[in-house]
C-alpha cells in the first residue's frame, strides 16, 4: 500500500515564519493514521524565492499548503485520507 506523503520545508524562512512546530507533526498524528502517512523534510522547497507566496510551506501528496500549521496540515491530510488519494 502506498502511503500519503507529507513534505515539510525546514528552510530558514519557513522556520522563522511560524514553521518551527511543523517537524513535530508526527507526534500530533492520530494513532490510526501513523501507518498511512510518511513525513519527510526538505532543506528548502524554494517557494520562498517567489515573493507572492506565504511561508511556511508543506506539501501533502504534492498539494501545496501555504502558511502551514499543524492543524492545517492535519485537515488537509484528513481530506486526502478520506478520498483515498494516494501518492502519485
Q: Which three cell numbers stand for residue 57?
A: 510551506
Evaluate whether 5 touches 81 at the Cβ level (below 8 Å).
no
Contacting residue, 31, 43, 84, 88, with other proteins by CB under 8 A: 43
The answer to the question of residue 10 lying near other proteins (CB under 8 A) is yes
Spatial separation of the C-alpha atoms in residues 68 and 86, rounded to whole Å: 21
Q: Of 21-29, 57-65, 68-76, 77-85, which part binds other proteins (CB under 8 A)? A: 21-29
The answer to the question of residue 21 lying near other proteins (CB under 8 A) is yes
DSSP state of 2: P
Number of residues that bind other proteins (CB under 8 A): 22
Evaluate whether 38 touches 6 at the Cβ level (below 8 Å).
yes
- Per CB under 8 A, residues contacting other proteins are 8, 10-13, 15-17, 20-21, 23-24, 26, 39-44, 48-49, 51
Amino acid at each position: 500500500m502506498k502511503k500519503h506523503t507529507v513534505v515539510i520545508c525546514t528552510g530558514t524562512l519557513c522556520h522563522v515564519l511560524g514553521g518551527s512546530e511543523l517537524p513535530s507533526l508526527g507526534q500530533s498524528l492520530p494513532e490510526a493514521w501513523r501507518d498511512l502517512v510518511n513525513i519527510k523534510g526538505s532543506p528548502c522547497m524554494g517557494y520562498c524565492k517567489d515573493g507572492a507566496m506565504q511561508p511556511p510551506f508543506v506539501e501533502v501528496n504534492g498539494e501545496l499548503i501555504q502558511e502551514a500549521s499543524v492543524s492545517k496540515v492535519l485537515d488537509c491530510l484528513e481530506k486526502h485520507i478520506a478520498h483515498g488519494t494516494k501518492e502519485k
